Structure 1
Amino acid sequence: MDTTSKSDFPVSVSALHFPSAEQLSVSQTLASLRRSALSVNNRLRSIEADAAFVREVADHYGLPLIANERCGSWYIPPDIKTGSAYFKSTDGHTGQWDFSFRRLNLQILPIAREHGGCIIVDSTRRGKLMPDALSKTVPIWCAVINRALFPSETAYHSVELPPNYLGASEESQIEKRIDGFVHSLKSLKLDLDDLRQQLGKPIRVAWANRTYFHPTDLGKGKDYNLFVLCSASKRVHGAEISEGGYIQGAGDDSEAWAHGLTPPVFWAHKSTLLSQAEENLPEVIENLTREHRGQRTGQQATLVAPTRNLYIGQADPSLADSGQYDLVIDCNSNAETTEENSKCLNLGCISSKQGGRDLRNHLDKVRDFVGSQLGSNPSQSLLVMCESGKDISAGTLLTIICLFYNDAGEFAGPRTQTIGKQFIRQRLAWIVSSKYDVNPSRSTLQSVNAFLIQRPDY
């Protein structure tokens, strides 16, 4: 006889017991652990540890530190940071090797001459020994610079690549592209004699990372400038949770984790930030960054050589109203231009990433404004600014230079000859060589090209 009570069985669907939805699966648990390991606190402590290694490299070689932006600046306290570079890892990706003509990085040359070289600091995320920017992009750049500026110094013409890192086929394919890059660089018609004077000697390349210094016996020399490519972070092969809180490449992709924190604010308030509990960090960061913004001095504009009256800068009312500039073009402002302020042109370009595409709708106004104002008085100074000072303002200024300025950087009235992409590229080199962090987006350059190349006769 079955003695089991009927009450031992569920009598309704609601009484049935199912596994709790609150119980996490194995994958969800691992994801939660990974998010915990990638906390802001762990990132900042990892950055601090990696910065100590960067200091060791600087002491070993006796060379100044250059941050490969934007990641590299996290690892260099501002008081020992000598400058910035902008080498993209994508220019070193397999099959996409390139020499960027939008980021020439010529600002490094005089620093290298003064100190006998420099240390370029960057990092990369889990699994890699170094970023492609350091293993390929910078070595390509160095080989191009050596061949273009020191054609007779053939001992420095080969591409120096890290030991036992790339396959023979990839190394060979990179080598075959260098002469083409040199030809393209020369076609920009930059003053190579002046650049040669700025650098002084050819470049040799070395690498410094947590695995090795290579070549081990290479230091500064009287016949060359030494460029040390330093990858700041320790290589992590497994998941972050296996490293006790250490995160490789912790400074990378800071927009996704930093809550608006920037390297200058981090280094200025490092002890405060590292003493905070994780849940308090967003509010603390917000307060510190707000305080930092309030302490910033006014923005400065940059003269674009070889012109003597064209300036580019980040939008700032104090800059526009300073009286330093006769004419101002504000690419993002929507303010109505009054008759009393006819020396200012507000374009009202969209502030988002769509701003570059929107620019083409306003370039006819730029052409008319500059043609009228500088046409009547070419000696007037003109400031062009946008929110970043790097994108839409660069495209606007590029249009002005192409339409109105001759090879000597003098206002010459509206250009009547056909404008092609190579001519635009040459003029862009003026801006990039003068303001090194300029980085017009693809959509901005497409707007400029569409307006200049397909424009009706002026």
Structure 2
Amino acid sequence: MKAGKPQFLQDPRRLKRSTLSIHNRLQSIQEDAAFAQNVQNAYDRPLIANERCGSWYIDPSQKGGSAYFKSTDGHTGVWKFSSRRLNLHLLESIGKNDGCIIIDSTRRGKRMPDALSKTIPIWCSVINRVLFPGESQFYDLYTPPQVVSSTEHAQISKLLPSFKVALKALDIPFDSLKTQISKPLRPMWITPDSNVETTSEIFEQFHPVICCTVSRRVVGPEVTEGGYIQGAGDDTENWAHGLSPPVFWANSKILLSTPESDLPDLIETLVNEVGNGGAVGENVRVIHPTSILFVTQLSSIANHQPEDLTIALSPTVTGQNVWQTSLNSLEIGLGPHKAGSKSLRMALPYIADFIKSHIPKLRDPASQVTRIVIACETGKDLSIGVALTLLCLFFGPDGQLSEETRTSGIDKSFIRSRLGWISTSMPDANPNRATLQSVNSFLMERPR
């Protein structure tokens, strides 16, 4: 009989698994959320969840919005200002509330995520450079010195002028954005180690963007923390069993009082109840400055108007011979996830020809065909790729539908500028790299 592993090798692994339990994660999330609420009580500004994990730490009734700052945009040596994650929607809230509190967390051992220590500081400086062009005193980069070294700070600062040029190239209506804030932006940092005291201080020279790391720092192994897990809301695909922040907050008491062994079944029941209860998909959302191009989820496409031109992108592969289901509708089966993104490249010519054939109707004021509605599973990936393609081919700089298909001037810079329209209209749009590669390949390789 094969001997088992020695007991001294088994126990630490079992101990780690028991420490990283679902219950301990949810308990840790609730503890960190209490700190986030304390910070809001002290500074009286809206709580903004930095997605994906930020929403775990905010009771939905207290949530003031979402942000999409990625730590990868602040990683050492690869700093950037992302044209895919502009976060310009935050300016209105910042202006109305004299700042905001952006909630995020990070893994064991780190003081704060790169999104808070570098990505947001880069964003603040670039926004200031664009919206306050004649006031160079507001151009400075601010980073937390206990996290970002002076050398790295200097390296990032050298890149800021080029980031400003890249943002300006997106051809976004900056004049209207400037009306939303009265002062430049400046990041500030709060962690569980900070001394949080209630204050009504108004900063005369800037709007504070308070970057709040909610999880306390764990330097050693989790097993030394009595069940507390730093960054417990991250990596949900590995532990949450489909549980989402709204379901957690609506059922936190029963979840936290249920034995660990029963939690997977309970979560499955709660998640299914939400799904079977007829949860409504996201509303159909328009891509500005157009007035006719809309994006939504497949779950909402059934609610479209009969006269809409609809393009439904399904995760189930289907043949091209069955894609057109009616005069005004396409149902295109591309496949799931990355496979669907790659298949999109082959479907884009078909979609472009379909829209081109309907342009006379779309431009005719007497026609009942007034909208293009594109849907995919999430409403944030494949549908965004199709919308981006149509914006590049068929829409002018004012968002009006053109009479002719654009045949020249489509390069990476132009595509990024149209993606900026989408990022501004839909901050949560999240096309993956393969989707954008398919769009770029189609647009830049098509015959002129």
User: Normalising by the residue count of structure 1, what TM-score does the alignment of the two structures yield?
Assistant: 0.91
Task: Report the alpha carbon displacement of residue 355 of structure 1 after superposing the two structures with TM.
Answer: 1.2
Contact 1:398 1:431 in 2 (8 A): yes
SS at match of 2:280: coil
1:280-429 maps to which residues of 2 (within 5 A)?
280-295=262-277, 296-316=279-299, 318-323=300-305, 326-332=308-314, 341-378=326-363, 380-412=370-402, 413-429=404-420
Q: Could you tell which deviates more after superposition, 340-349 or 165-174?
A: 340-349
Q: Residue 239 of structure 2 aligns to which amino acid in structure 1?
A: W
Give the Cα–Cα distance (whole angstroms) in 1 for the partners of residues 252 and 168 of structure 2: 45
Contact 1:124 1:249 in 2 (8 A): yes
Q: Could you list the runs of 5+ residues in structure 1 that have no partner in the other structure?
A: 1-17
Aligned with 1:164 (options 146, 149, 161) = 146
Give the Cα–Cα distance (whole angstroms) in 1 for the partners of residues 215 and 325 of structure 2: 56
Contact 1:63 1:117 in 2 (8 A): yes
Cα 1:401/1:138, change in 2 over 3 Å: same
Aligned residue number for residue 451 of structure 1: 442
Contact 1:208 1:228 in 2 (8 A): yes
Give the Cα–Cα distance (whole angstroms) in 2 for the partners of residues 419 and 435 of structure 1: 22
Aligned residue number for residue 129 of structure 1: 111
Aligned residue number for residue 77 of structure 1: 59
1:139-288 maps to which residues of 2 (within 5 A)?
139-212=121-194, 219-288=201-270
Render the CA deviation track for 1:273-310: whole Å, top value 9, x for unaligned.
00111110000000101112233224311110111100
Task: Report the alpha carbon displacement of residue 221 of structure 1 after superposing the two structures with TM.
Answer: 2.3
Q: Residue 446 of structure 1 aligns to which amino acid in structure 2?
A: Q
Task: Report the alpha carbon displacement of residue 419 of structure 1 after superposing the two structures with TM.
Answer: 1.4
Task: Report the alpha carbon displacement of residue 223 of structure 1 after superposing the two structures with TM.
Answer: 3.5
Task: Report the alpha carbon displacement of residue 391 of structure 1 after superposing the two structures with TM.
Answer: 0.8
Cα 1:405/1:215, change in 2 over 3 Å: farther
Contact 2:190 2:211 in 1 (8 A): yes
Aligned residue number for residue 436 of structure 1: 427
1:77-96 maps to which residues of 2 (within 5 A)?
77-96=59-78
Task: Report the alpha carbon displacement of residue 334 of structure 1 after superposing the two structures with TM.
Answer: 5.8
Contact 2:49 2:58 in 1 (8 A): yes
Q: Residue 237 of structure 1 aligns to which amino acid in structure 2?
A: V
| Residues paired across the two proteins, number | 438
Q: Could you list the runs of 5+ residues in structure 2 that have no partner in the other structure?
A: 365-369
Render the CA deviation track for 1:153-204: whole Å, top value 9, x for unaligned.
3332111111332221111001111111001000001111111112332112
Contact 2:23 2:260 in 1 (8 A): yes
Contact 2:41 2:198 in 1 (8 A): no
Q: Residue 349 of structure 2 aligns to which amino acid in structure 1?
A: D
Task: Report the alpha carbon displacement of residue 111 of structure 1 after superposing the two structures with TM.
Answer: 0.6
Task: Report the alpha carbon displacement of residue 338 of structure 1 after superposing the two structures with TM.
Answer: 8.5
Task: Report the alpha carbon displacement of residue 337 of structure 1 after superposing the two structures with TM.
Answer: 5.4
Flag the structure with larger Rg: 1
Task: Report the alpha carbon displacement of residue 324 of structure 1 after superposing the two structures with TM.
Answer: 6.6
Q: Residue 378 of structure 2 aligns to which amino acid in structure 1?
A: S
Contact 1:61 1:220 in 2 (8 A): no
What percentage of residue pairs aligned between the two structures are identical?
A: 46
Find out whether 1:53 has 2:43 as its counterpart.
Answer: no
Give the superposed CA RMSD: 2.0
Contact 2:48 2:64 in 1 (8 A): yes
